[in-house]
Amino acid sequence: MFERIIDPISSIIFPQECNTCGGPSNESAVGVSCRKCWDETCLFTGHEILCRRCGALLGAYGGPLDVSCHKCDGHLYERAFAVGVYEKALASEIVELKRTPFISKFLNAIAFETLQRNAVGNVDVIIPVPLSKERFIERGFNQAAVIAKTVGKHMNIRIDELSLTRTKHTPIHRMSMDRRARELTVEKAFSVERPMLVHGKSVLLIDDVLTSGSTASACANVLMKSGAANVIVFTLARAVLK
């Protein structure tokens, strides 16, 4: 009886097969992928060349350099940074995070390291990118809020899940969508319900993946219009756009 209750839970937390390569994996601390797959995943170390604003990967070595990809020129957040590239073990972990509100010990540790390296010192409030009501009901939780909670707890910063809301149900972004198509789907999709709570505040906006940055920019737009002092964006992964 006891085993029957425990088994389904342990199979989520301790998968027998690596979700990335299908090989054996029984090390729960590294999540749903094996250590070999994590070793092959591009996790940022501070030596890459990244766009100063959106964090796009512009070169694997030779950084940090003060450069811009210019695709993010109109974006309204101050800067965005991520743990690594949306690929291999990191992608598997994020796919799993949409099914199970759980982040592995290993990913938590590198996320905290990334936050420290990017000198996120003066944040007043952490705000997760909200889901639409429809998607929240469908999923049962907001994966961005799961990340926000672990970061908030680690940094001892208040989390505000109520001020920023998604007013429009937008289709899921596809990697194949071009920049303008992405921007059109998120423009006017967000609003700030409690402007007084963000007024004058330095905001750390959190999401699972940053793709073009248009979602983060749309959030930053309404937060800044509500008087936020600045918006910095942290995501677990950065998608590399073709």
Applying CB under 5 A, which residues contact Zn ion?
18, 20-21, 23, 34, 37, 51, 53-54, 56, 69, 72
Integer Cα distance of 32 and 19 in angstroms = 6
Residue appearing with tokens 């409030």: 125
Residue number, 54 or 85, with CB nearest to Zn ion:
54
Least CB distance to Zn ion at residue 185 (A): 19
Least CB distance to Zn ion at residue 36 (A): 5
- Which residues, at least 6 apart from 105, have a Cβ–Cβ distance to it below 8 Å? 28, 29, 30
* 126, 159 contact by CB (below 8 A): yes
Integer Cα distance of 131 and 139 in angstroms = 10
Least CB distance to Zn ion at residue 69 (A): 3
Question: Would you call 43 helix, strand, or coil by DSSP?
Answer: strand
Least CB distance to Zn ion at residue 151 (A): 23
Beta 202-210 vs 164-166: how paired, if at all? unpaired
* Bridge partners of residue 190, in order along the sequence: 166
Residue number, 79 or 201, with CB nearest to Zn ion:
79
Least CB distance to Zn ion at residue 84 (A): 16
Integer Cα distance of 187 and 182 in angstroms = 9
Residue number, 19 or 163, with CB nearest to Zn ion:
19
Q: What are phi and psi of 185, to 5 degrees?
A: -75, -20
Least CB distance to Zn ion at residue 92 (A): 8
Ramachandran region of residue 223, left (φ > 0), alpha (ψ -120 to 50) or beta? Answer: alpha
